[in-house]
Amino acid sequence: MIRIIQLIEKSQSIRKAIMMAIDILSIGYSFFLIDWIKGVEVLKINSVDALFVYLFFLSVSLLIYHSTGQYQSRNSYLSSYSLYQISLRSLLVLIALLPVSNTIISTKVDLNLFIVFWLIITLLTSSTRLLLRDFLILMRTYRKPNIARVAIYGAGEAGFLLSQSLISGGGYNIKFFIDDNINLSNRSINGIPIIASHKIERFISQIDQVLLAIPSLKRGRRIEIVKRIGSHSIPCLQVPSIEEITSGKTKISDLRPISIEDLLGRNKVEPNYQLLGGPIKGKSICVTGAGGSIGAELCRQLIRLKPKSLVLIERNEAALYTIDQEIKSKISKDIKLHTILGSALDKKLLINTFSELNVNVIFHAAAYKHVPLVEKNPLEGIKNNIYSTKAICMAAEIVGVDHVILISTDKAVRPTNIMGASKRAAEMVVQAHAEEMRLSKNSSKEIITCYSMVRFGNVLNSSGSVIPLFQNQIKNGGPITITHPEVTRYFMTITEASQLVIQTCSLAKGGDVFLLDMGEPIKIYDMALQMIRISGLTLKSKNNPDGDIEIEFTGLRPGEKLYEELLIENNPQSTSHPLIFRANERFMRAQELYPKLEELEKEIETKETKKALNLLKEIIN
């Protein structure tokens, strides 16, 4: 039987033959039914041969059915729309046969007889198709003995569409719907019961998974649901977002695990498209550190804004190749892509690149960001983070680039580690160049470069994020390692951070320190608990020794803070974007800063680590 079903599913000609056979039997049976319903002999047996009449009627019916696409649709996905089409085709058949009805039918063709005949044919052809559809779905499910038992959370339109898709696919056994609306309790959708969310504990043993089918669900409520389901060690999957579905990128049945990004931070704020595209469209845009997580996401966002060209600078060959291949697969033909293998420390390379490619805007994302690694390799961290920024600023001024945006970090605020201190010094380089530009406005200089910087906290799933680390630790069975139970950080998704960075370009006046609203700070310990729950696992502790994943505290690392902050001075100013703020912070003037940077560079070249660190401390204080 299974082989026969597989043959039917694979062969279009066999499926069409079966459908035609069903219609032949349905049409024949309809004659006998109407005889019984109307109490008359429909066929004129005495005047015309009944077999000839039947074959004539059948030939016209099949011809119309075939020419109007009756045998082209897939029966496994039969819907109400398909049934409406069948009824219209049956009506068309009867209308086409009206001119010869007096020859064929033994009784007068009145409206009642016409309607009854139409209803019978429609009912027979439709019901047999529905039975065949359900039989195929049943056999498809039968072939998968280990089918998952699931509950769909959300009895709205998304939940209904998901159930239809899953039933057609045969990959899940839907036990029930769950919904927060108590008025839907004890009702059903296509025979599948709906239970109130507050009763879920009574039925949780009947399912293996929960499928969250509310695309517009607020983050706070999503957290509550995941926490509740996760407490029973039941994994959650969710449908894609409304944006992903409506854009055609994915289908509602493309279920994905709930990620930590879905549970952290605030509800998404849509970008201001006037700010987003203004300085980018039709311009030549350069991204340094294009192979890094933030640089790569900037590239993805920028190509949507239709720049004239995109210039990628990256010194890691493998990373540059990866982002180059990705952007090539997404970029439109009218955008030119240039990949430059080289260091942002190379001033000559930068000048040649900016000049030859007529670069208008530079996003400087190249930096060493891993706090422990920079702490162990301080001279390289200082050299890369400070002097690449200095080279970018000088090259941009020489060539006449319109705008330079430095990607900074919250660790630059009152830094306690070398990475943060080097990024604060990089900020001061940008501020010094911005001041020089302000002073140049009164001179005869025609081109003025606008320098600004954007400071934000941790980016989820970036190369320096704890998320990949925790994911690997959970995958390996634990433990999850956290330095301190009270460590708290700001988090933002990489997409939102990149969009906000691009939008600051429209807001910059020169020397701006832009701060991104990172939402509420989050304890790393709480985040680890969430990640354990969404993995369908439980915390192993003294109170739960049989749990799956343990959390260990390893102690604060050198230079690590318990809390991060975004402001040196408490004076943020709002902008036209609700999540972007501007701060004017103190800095060292160029005539004082540049000599110290030259001295620091000499200490780095001679590997005088202690002297270099003392000088860096003097600069940022």
Residue 616 has pLDDT above 90, yes or no: yes
Whether 184 and 329 share a structural domain? no
For the chain, helix (H) and strand (E) counts, in that order, are: 22, 23
pLDDT in tens, 184-197: 888 888 778 888 88
Q: Is the pLDDT of residue 442 over 70?
A: no
- Report the relative pairing of strands 236-238 and 256-257 from DSSP bridges: antiparallel
Q: Bigger pLDDT: 462 or 189? A: 189
> Is 536 part of a structural domain of the chain?
no
Q: 587 lies in which domain range?
A: 279-459+492-518+565-620
pLDDT in tens, 75-131: 555 556 566 677 777 777 777 666 655 555 555 556 666 677 777 777 777 777 777
Which of 7-11, 210-214, 530-534 has the highest mean predicted lDDT (pLDDT)?
Answer: 210-214
Q: How many residues does the chain have?
A: 621
Q: For the beta carbon of residue 213, count every other beta carbon within 10 angstroms.
A: 26
Lowest mean pLDDT among 56-70, 370-384, 479-493: 56-70
pLDDT at 148: 78
- Mean pLDDT across 48-64: 67
Residue 601 CA: distances (Å) to CA of 141, 232, 275, 351, 608: 69, 58, 38, 21, 10
Distance between CA 564 and CA 567 in Å, rounded?
10
Q: Count how many domains the chain has.
A: 3
User: How many Cβ atoms sit within 10 Å of the Cβ of residue 104?
Assistant: 19
Domain end (from 142, 162, 178): 142
Q: Which of residues 200, 225, 258 is at a domain's end?
A: 258
How many whole angstroms separate alpha carbon 240 and alpha carbon 245? 7
The secondary structure element, H or E, covering residue 364 is strand 361-364
- Domain assignment of residue 469, yes or no: no
Residue 196 in tokens = 């109130």
Task: Return the closest-CA partner of residue 31 out of 48, 46, 44.
Answer: 44
Average pLDDT over residues 514-518: 80
Q: Judge if 299 and 220 occupy the same domain.
A: no
pLDDT of residue 201: 86
CATH number at residue 251: 3.40.50.720
Alpha helices per DSSP H over 200-356: 200-203, 219-230, 242-246, 273-277, 293-302, 317-330, 347-356
pLDDT at 74 over 70: no
Are 401 and 448 within 8 A, CB to CB?
no
Tens digit of each residue's pLDDT (9 = 90 or more) over 219-247: 778 878 887 887 777 888 887 765 555 55
The count of C-alpha atoms lying within 13 angstroms of the C-alpha of 492, restricted to the half-sphere facing its C-beta, is 22
* Positions marked active-site: 411
Tell me: pLDDT of 304 over 80: yes
The DSSP 8-state label assigned to residue 565 in this structure reads: -
Q: Do 434 and 450 fall into the same domain?
A: yes
User: Does 172 lie in the same domain as 129?
Assistant: no
Q: Which of the 8 DSSP states describes residue 231?
A: T
Question: Do 381 and 409 sit in the same domain of this protein?
Answer: yes
The reply to whether 529 falls in a domain is: no
pLDDT for 122 = 76
Whether residue 437 sits in one domain with residue 305: yes
| 453 & 351 share domain | yes
Same domain, 321 and 192: no
On whether the CB atoms of residues 500 and 566 are closer than 8 A, the answer is no
Q: Which helix (H) or strand (E) holds 129?
A: helix 111-142
Who has greater pLDDT, 404 or 560? 404
The neighbour count for residue 591, using CB atoms within 10 Å, is 10
137 and 245 assigned to the same domain:
no
The DSSP 8-state label assigned to residue 455 in this structure reads: E
What pLDDT does 169 receive?
64
- Looking at the fold, whether 353 and 222 belong to one and the same domain comes out as no
Name the CA radius of gyration of the chain, rounded. 34
Q: What pLDDT, in 10s, does the model give residues 131-150?
A: 766 666 665 555 555 677 88
Q: Is the pLDDT of residue 615 over 90?
A: yes
Give the pLDDT of residue 9.
53
Sequence-ordered alpha helix ranges (H) in 231-346: 242-246, 273-277, 293-302, 317-330
Look at residues 110, 142, 174 and tell me which one is the last residue of a structural domain: 142
Indicate whether 251 and 170 sit together in one domain: yes
256 - beta bridge partners? Answer: 238
Cα distance between residue 578 and residue 594, in whole Å? 36
Mean pLDDT of the region 558-568: 65
**Predicted pLDDT at 47:** 47
Confidence at residue 500, expressed as pLDDT on a 0 to 100 scale:
85
Asked if residue 269 belongs to a domain, the reply is no
In a domain, 497, yes or no: yes
Q: Which residue has the tokens 């805007």?
A: 361
Of 20, 13, 22, 251, nearest in space to 135 by CA = 22
Q: Are residues 510 and 445 in the same domain?
A: yes
**Measured distance CA(115)–CA(392) in Å, rounded:** 81
Kindly compute the dihedral angle of the four CA atoms of residues 54, 56, 61, 67, in this order, to the nearest 10 degrees: 150
Q: Do residues 450 and 404 touch, judged by C-beta distance below 8 A?
A: yes
Q: Would residue 369 count as lying in a domain?
A: yes
Q: Provide the residue type at 475 as one letter.
A: K
Sorting pLDDT into bands at 50, 70 and 90, what band is 569?
low
CB 129 within 8 A of CB 89: no
Q: Is residue 97, in this structure, part of any structural domain at all? A: yes
User: How confident is the model at residue 135, as a pLDDT?
Assistant: 67
| Range from 349-358, 370-379, 581-590 carrying the lowest mean pLDDT | 581-590
Q: What does the pLDDT look like over 20-55, one tens digit per residue?
A: 777 777 776 776 666 666 555 555 544 455 566 667
Angle at 383 between CA 378 and CA 387, to 5 degrees: 150
pTM, entire model: 0.66
Yes or no: say if 197 and 180 are a contact pair by the CB < 8 Å rule: yes
Higher-confidence position of 147 and 391: 391
Tokens of 240: 């894609």
Strand-strand pairing, 148-153 and 188-189:
unpaired
In a domain, 49, yes or no: yes
Confidence class of residue 12 from pLDDT cuts 50, 70 and 90?
low
Distance CA 329, CA 576 (A): 34
Please, what is the average pLDDT of the chain? 79
Look at residue 168 and tell me whether its pLDDT is greater than 80. Answer: no
